[in-house]
Amino acid sequence: MTGPSFDFGEVLGNIDLLLRGIALTLFLWILAFSFALAVGLALALARASARTWLSWPAGAYVEVFRNTPVLVQLIWFYYAFPVLTGVQMSPFTAALIGLCLNTSAYMSEIYRAGLQSIARGQWEAGRALGMRGRQALVRIVLPQAVRRMIPAFTNRGVELAKMTSIASVLSVHELMYEAKLLSTQTFLPLETFTIVAVIYLLLIYPGTLAALLLERRLSRRYAT
C-alpha cells in the first residue's frame, strides 16, 4: 500500500468555513469573558461578605463549578436545565451561560486572592493618612490589586479560549464544529484537524505570551 498523500490544499480551500467558525469562537469568547469578569466580582464580594446567606451559597457555587468537568456543565445547561424551566435555549445561549458561569467561579478566586495579597500595611498606611475604608480601597488597594490580577485574568482568558471548542458538542458553529464538519466533508481528518490545531495555536499563544510578559513587567516594577 502506498503511503498516505497529504492534501492540505483542499482544506485550505475551504478556509471561509473555518473563518466563520473563528468569528463565532471570538464572539463567544468576548461575551463569556466580559460577563464572567462582572459575575466573578459579584461572587467575590458575596464570598467576602459577613452575611452567611450570601457567602455560603457563593462558596458552594465556586466549588461546584471548579469540581465538575466543563462539558458536563454545558450539557446540563442545554439538556437538563430547560426541563426545569420549560424554556428551550439555543445551543449558543446554553454554551455562553455554561462558559460564563464556569469562568466566573475562577474569576472570583482571582479577585479574592488579589485583594488579599495587598499587604495589610497598605491598608494601614491609607488609614493612617486619615482615609476612610472605602477611600483606602479605591485609591490604594484596588489599583495595586488589579495590576496583580491582570496576568491571572489573562491566563483565564487563555483557558476560556480553549474551552470554547467544547461548545461544538452542543452544535454551536464555532471553529471546532466547523472543523468536524469539514473533516467529514473532505474525508481529510488528518489535514483538517492539524490545520485547525495550528489555527487555535495562532489564536491562543499570543494570549499566553501576553500573560508571561505582564507577569514579568509586574514583578520588575514592584520588586523590592
Partner 1 sequence: MPSYAWDFSPIWRNADLLLAGLANTIWLSAASIAVGLAIGLGLAILRLSHSRLVSAPAGALIEFYRNTPPLVHFFWYYYGLPILLGVSLSPFAAALLALSVQSGAFFAEVFRGGIVSIERGQWEAGRALGMSRRQLMRRIILPQAVRRMVPPLMERSFEVVKTTALAATLAYSELLYQAMTLASRSYRPLETYSAVALIFFLLLLTASLAMRQVEARLRIGQP
Binding site for partner 1 (CB under 8 A): 1, 4, 63-64, 66-73, 75-76, 79-81, 83-84, 86, 158, 161-166, 168-169, 176, 179-180, 183, 189-190, 192-194, 196-197, 200-201, 204-205, 208
Burial of 107 (0-12, 13-18, 19+ CB in 10 A): buried
Least distance from partner 1 to the Cβ atom of residue 172, Å:
12
CA 89 to chain centre: 21
Q: How far apart are CA 216 and CA 224, in angstroms?
A: 14
Least distance from partner 1 to the Cβ atom of residue 204, Å:
5
Torsion sign over Cα 105, 109, 114, 116: positive
The residue among 97 and 166 lying less far from partner 1, judged by its C-beta, is 166
CA 18 to chain centre: 22
The residue among 138 and 213 lying less far from partner 1, judged by its C-beta, is 213
The residue among 8 and 129 lying less far from partner 1, judged by its C-beta, is 8
The residue among 133 and 206 lying less far from partner 1, judged by its C-beta, is 206
Q: How far apart are CA 62 and CA 112, in angstroms?
A: 12
Q: How far apart are CA 46 and CA 207, in angstroms?
A: 29
Least distance from partner 1 to the Cβ atom of residue 67, Å:
4
Least distance from partner 1 to the Cβ atom of residue 189, Å:
4
Least distance from partner 1 to the Cβ atom of residue 215, Å:
13
The residue among 145 and 164 lying less far from partner 1, judged by its C-beta, is 164
| N- to C-terminal Cα separation, the chain | 66
Q: How far apart are CA 222 and CA 199, in angstroms?
A: 36
Least distance from partner 1 to the Cβ atom of residue 84, Å:
6
Judge contact between 160 and 103, C-beta under 8 A: yes
The residue among 36 and 176 lying less far from partner 1, judged by its C-beta, is 176
